[in-house]
Amino acid sequence: MVVPRLIERKRDGGTLTPEEWRELIGAYVAGLVPDYQLAALAMAVFFRGMSEEELGALTQAMLHSGARLDFGTWATPRVDKHSIGGVGDKTSLLLAPMLACCGVAVPMISGRGLGHTGGTLDKLEAIPGFRTGLSLDEATRQVQRLGCVMLGQTAELVPADRKLYALRDVTGTVESIPLISASIMSKKLAEDLRGLVLDIKTGSGAFLTEPAQSLRLAETMIGIGEAQGCRTVALLTAMDRPLGYACGNALEVEEAIHGLTGDGPEDLMEVTYALGVEMLLVGRVFQDRHAARRRLEASVGSGAAREKFAALIEAQGGNPSVVDDPRGLPHAPVQEVYRAPRAGVVTQVAPRLIGHAIIALGGGRLRTDDNIDPAVGFVVTAKPGQWVEAGQPIATVHARSVADGHIGLNALAASIQIGESAVATPLISHRVSRDGVESMSR
Give buried/exposed letters for 343-359 (b at 16+ CB in 10 A, else e).
ebebebbbbbbbbbbbb
Considering the complex, what minimum distance in angstroms separates the CB of residue 163 from its own copies? 12
Q: What is the SS3 assignment for 380-438?
A: ECCCCCCEECCCCEEEEEEECCHHHHHHHHHHHHHHEEEECCCCCCCCEEEEEECCEEE
13, 133, 172, 303: which one contacts its own copies (CB under 8 A)?
172
H helix or E strand, kind and range, residue 111: none
Taking CB under 8 A as the binding criterion, the range among 108-116, 137-145, 164-172, 251-259 that sits at the site for its own copies is 164-172
Does the active-site annotation cover 168? yes
Q: Scanning residues 175 to 194, which ones bind its own copies (CB under 8 A)?
A: 175
CA–CA dist 98, 276 (Å, integer): 8
Does the active-site annotation cover 267? no
Considering the complex, what minimum distance in angstroms separates the CB of residue 45 from its own copies? 10
- One symbol per residue from 2 to 31: x for binding its own copies (CB under 8 A), - otherwise; what is it? -xxxxxx-xx--------------------
* 3-class state of residue 95 by DSSP: helix
Considering the complex, what minimum distance in angstroms separates the CB of residue 367 from its own copies? 12
Considering the complex, what minimum distance in angstroms separates the CB of residue 113 from its own copies? 19
32, 170, 366, 424: which one contacts its own copies (CB under 8 A)?
170
Q: What is the DSSP letter of 320?
A: G
27, 67, 167, 304: which one contacts its own copies (CB under 8 A)?
167
Q: Find the catalytic residue in 80, 89, 122, 161.
A: 161
Q: Scanning residues 35 to 94, which ones bind its own copies (CB under 8 A)?
A: 35-44, 46-47
Considering only CA atoms, which of 82, 80, 83, 90 is closest in space to residue 258?
90
Does the active-site annotation cover 188? no
Q: What is the DSSP letter of 153?
A: P
Measure CA of the first residue to CA of the last residue in the chain; give whole Å.
53
Q: What are phi and psi of 12, to 5 degrees?
A: -90, 15
Does the active-site annotation cover 161? yes
CA–CA dist 380, 421 (Å, integer): 19
For its own copies, the closer CB: 6 or 95: 6
The binding site for its own copies (CB under 8 A) comprises: 3-8, 10-11, 34-44, 46-47, 167, 169-173, 175
What are the catalytic residues?
Answer: 82, 161, 168, 183, 187
